[in-house]
Structure 1
Amino acid sequence: MKAVILAAGYGTRLQRDVTADDSGRFAHLAGVAKPLLPVGHRALASHWVHALLASGCVDRIYVVTNALYHAAFEDWAAQLSNVTIVSDQTRTNEERLGAVACLRLAIKHFQIDDDIIVIGGDTLFKEDFSLNRVKERFNNLQAKCDHSCLVMSYQCEDEETRKYGILEVDEDLRIVCMKEKPLPSETKSRNACPCFYVLSKQTLPLLDDFLKEKMDAPIAEKDAPGNFLSWLIPRAPVYVHQISGRFDVGNLPSYVDCDLYFREKLQDLESYMV
């Protein structure tokens, strides 16, 4: 199995917050890509690299970034094993290809013909998350149908449904549909879906179909990976794996909360997410 970390975003909200902060406490974060932000005693993405390799879930990790941050990611990866970087060649947020196109870029560029774990580069999970348990669940699903895919899900609050893609599932935890940012009254489900997908290699060609269908669509329809997931659900069996929650580093306050947790509350750094 391979892993693809999507890290080609520009972190515009976070960088805007850093620029606006006049305390000087966060000046060191200016111009730093979100996956390379220091979270506790490691860069955010380094937590994923350590856990992915320590768990034995993958034998190679690919990171898709942009031209602006490419050199920084290459310097970061030089200190790690089994991590390779590719740039989407864009330099501004307005030029961005979108997360789904970046995923396809990695698959084509590295000629990936394997099951893949797709990870949003600005997300970390709570301590109950285990890659070994995810791998076990995925393998069990694959034994029944080799087209099966697996995504993470956690329970959000009622008022948060309008912020996330919400998954509706059947009694076997197979996803029936995904509703994008619904009102609480529009669904009984509170299954929020972060960007962590385990995609079977049999479904990877569907990325081409999706992007061909969306060729003339606005970038917003190709950027959020949840749009591909929603499109995939009627075409392949996709199941949920329940976790307790995540850290989503979107702006400066959410970054500060995440960093503080990893510095003061994380119980076991070495076994985290393994």
Structure 2
Amino acid sequence: MKAVILAAGYGTRLQRDVEADSSGQFAHLSGIAKPLLPVGHRALISHWVHALTASGCVDCIYVVGRLGAVTCLQLAVKHFNIEDHIMVIGGDTLFKEDFSLTQVQQRFYEVQAVDEDSCLLLSYQCKDDETSKYGILEVDSNLRVLCMKEKPHPSETKSRRACPCFYMLSKRCLSLLDAFLQEKKDASIEEKDAPGNFVSWLIHRKPVYVHQISGRFDVGNLPSYTECDLYFREKLQDVESYMV
């Protein structure tokens, strides 16, 4: 299995907050891309590299950015001739301590045993007033995804399953990246750029399942970043086994 970390996130809201901060306390964050933000005693992306290496879940880690998430993923597949399952990771995302790469991979292989086309997403319960911020997954009794609703009003879905940017894609589905981008070649950047758009499209073509986690850390603005950084500095129980 290969890991592809999508590292194009620049953090516009966070940078705006840093520039507006008059204390100078956060001046060292100016101009830093989100994956390189210091979180605890490591850069955000370094938490992933450490966990991926320590868990032994993948044999290669690729870091890509700047072309748009789906195009970057397609580039990695073609340039490195990837013919293996892929773990797609948002480079600006970190999860709560119950998240385990080993457990997620085990769940992926369980759904693969039923159908080799199967892919896996993560989900966590969001609050009623947060559905309009995220892609929301609707699933059946077997935890197979029926659809993803993009930022729906709470009244538009009974589900509260938010879907973060972490996907495990079957090697048998990688050719669909080309099909998706070909179909969307005349679409707006927003419609073909976000990885969630590809996942939403994939759900109607291949079996996609969910693995439940408790939540993620949001580093969208300065208050949420400082809260996350403080947690990793003072509350994280075991840095070395985090996410392994």
Shift of 1:10: 2.5
Which residue in 2 is equivalent to 1:73? Answer: none
In structure 2, C-alpha distance between the alignment counterparts of 1:118 and 1:178, rounded to whole Å: 17
Shift of 1:249: 1.6
- The letter for the 2-side match of 1:267 is Q
- How does the TM-score come out when normalised to structure 1? 0.87
Query: Unmatched 5+ residue regions in structure 1?
Result: 67-96
In structure 2, C-alpha distance between the alignment counterparts of 1:116 and 1:207, rounded to whole Å: 12
Which residue in 2 is equivalent to 1:76? Answer: none
Which residue in 1 is equivalent to 2:19? Answer: 19
Decide which of 70, 73, 90 is 1:100's aligned counterpart.
70
Decide which of 80, 89, 97 is 1:110's aligned counterpart.
80
Q: Does 2:39 match 1:39? A: yes
Which residue in 1 is equivalent to 2:53? Answer: 53
- The letter for the 2-side match of 1:256 is T
Map 1:153-172 onto structure 2 (within 5 A): 153-172=123-142
- How does the TM-score come out when normalised to structure 2? 0.98
In structure 2, C-alpha distance between the alignment counterparts of 1:10 and 1:268, rounded to whole Å: 28
Shift of 1:248: 2.0
Shift of 1:17: 1.4
SS of 2:120's partner is strand
Which residue in 2 is equivalent to 1:81? Answer: none
Query: Retained in 1: the 8 A contact 2:94–2:216?
Result: yes
Shift of 1:21: 1.1
SS of 1:259's partner is helix
Decide which of 198, 209, 232 is 2:179's aligned counterpart.
209
Which residue in 1 is equivalent to 2:170? Answer: 200
In structure 2, C-alpha distance between the alignment counterparts of 1:199 and 1:219, rounded to whole Å: 23
In structure 1, C-alpha distance between the alignment counterparts of 2:70 and 2:238, rounded to whole Å: 33
CA RMSD of aligned residues (A): 0.9
SS of 2:32's partner is coil
Decide which of 237, 241, 244 is 1:271's aligned counterpart.
241
Which residue in 1 is equivalent to 2:92? Answer: 122
Alignment coverage as a number of residue pairs: 244
Query: Retained in 1: the 8 A contact 2:122–2:166?
Result: yes
In structure 2, C-alpha distance between the alignment counterparts of 1:14 and 1:137, rounded to whole Å: 34
Query: Unmatched 5+ residue regions in structure 2?
Result: none
- The letter for the 2-side match of 1:183 is H
Shift of 1:185: 0.9
Greater relative contact order structure (CA < 8 Å, 6+ sep): 2
In structure 2, C-alpha distance between the alignment counterparts of 1:232 and 1:253, rounded to whole Å: 35
SS of 2:87's partner is strand
Q: Which portions of structure 1, spanning 4 or more consecutive aligned residues, are displaced by more than 3 angstroms?
A: none
Q: Does 2:199 match 1:224? A: no
Shift of 1:143: 1.1
SS of 2:61's partner is strand
- The letter for the 2-side match of 1:226 is G
In structure 1, C-alpha distance between the alignment counterparts of 2:147 and 2:206, rounded to whole Å: 12
Shift of 1:122: 0.5
